[in-house]
Amino acid sequence: MIHMTDSLPPLDGLTVLEISSFVAAPLGGMTLAQLGAEVIRIDPVGGGPDLHRWPLAPSGASLYWAGLNKGKRSVALNLRDAEGQRLVGDLLAASGAGGGIVLTNAPGRGLLGPASLTERRPDLIHLQVQGHHDGRAAVDYTVNAATGFPLITGPEDVAGPVNHVLPAWDIACGLYAAVGLLAAERRRARTGAGSVITLALADVALAVAGHLGFLAEAQLGGTDRPRIGNHLYGGLGRDFPTADGKRVMVVALTRRHFADLAAATGLTAALAELERLLRADFTEDGDRYRHRQVIAALLEPWFAERKLAEVERDLAEASVLWSPYRSFAEVTGDDGNPLLQQIGQPGIGALLAPGSPLVMDGVAGPRPAPEFGADTENVLTGMLGLNAADVRALAERGIAGGPAA
């Protein structure tokens, strides 16, 4: 949600240079930008590999680009040329007390390496997102394959791996990157010392798999978790079809949830008798999970006899957790959440976009992503003291660029 106030944004005064592509690093930069940091995204002249990445708007502009670069400034420089690299160092040096911060997933070539940039800015904070801890390349989809999740995802009768469409490790990595930069900036404020940080996408996936118990379960149990389709592992939760062809996900995490679900569906006595026959204790998560199939079989007719509106009515007073399945198109038609607001996005037009989900003083609604290269002249003149003729000369030599054609 969004909470509008007159106070300064939380990260006002922080300046971050972002040299990035794909998901993790741009998401980290946008997370900081939505909290008030000035994030200057620097791309090669002509655009990087994600400038035209799908999905595309009817105009042909990348919705992916627009989504991950909201609230940033866009500068285009020839990053393969020493002069372009020197300009990055100049911007770093000129970025003030709250600057000297680089977020990147690009390899540090030439003058863009952390050692060279530290010569320009001794208190440099440099965070590089990479594939593996040893520097090998990886993307979310290869990391996910290597971490084990596709082998426990999907219906019970599927033998091969099942991928999912959400780049979960990119997302977690981007948020780790934002936290890492803020932690380093806090330390620098105390000590004056910079930091050179690496963040491996594969390590993020491995860490989360460990935090959630997946690795310990396999280590101690000697086997992987089974595939269970849409059931909730270790508890009671599953999807049910309704009379009007909809589907709802229903979850009973606690004994109160389960008791309320039983009461709302009129199955309190039947479930108590089932509990007695099975010599189970349905107040316990484990027993609800072990007997999930037969419990679900009792619940199925209740949902199948009711339309979605009737399910909503009958579960309205219950503590049980549930939600209808909705498409993205249906989600965009829901204007009840102030997180989503209409913005005017250059190259696209009116667009529904989210701001930061953090509710805190100074956090405002979403700001459009810049048109590619639109801020090149303003940033170079405003931060480096160049004039318009200087920038035109850089453009003529292919060192600087403007908006893509």
3-state secondary structure 315-371: HCCCCCEEEECCCHHHHHCCCCCCCEEEEEECCCEEEEEECCCCCCCCCCCCCCCCC
The span from the CA of 75 to the CA of 42, in Å, is: 5
Strands 195-200, 125-130: pairing is: parallel
β-bridge mates for residue 323, sequence order:
249
Of 170, 203, 260, 375, which one is the catalytic site residue? 170
The span from the CA of 375 to the CA of 250, in Å, is: 48
Place of tokens 């529904």: 352
Six-digit token pair at 264?
């709302």
Six-digit token pair at 52?
């035209």
Q: Is 170 a catalytic residue?
A: yes
Place of tokens 């990055």: 88
Place of tokens 């005017």: 344
The span from the CA of 166 to the CA of 168, in Å, is: 5
Contact 202, 146 (CB under 8 A): yes
* Residues 6 or more apart whose Cβ sits within 8 Å of residue 196: 114, 118, 124, 126
What residues are labeled active site? 170
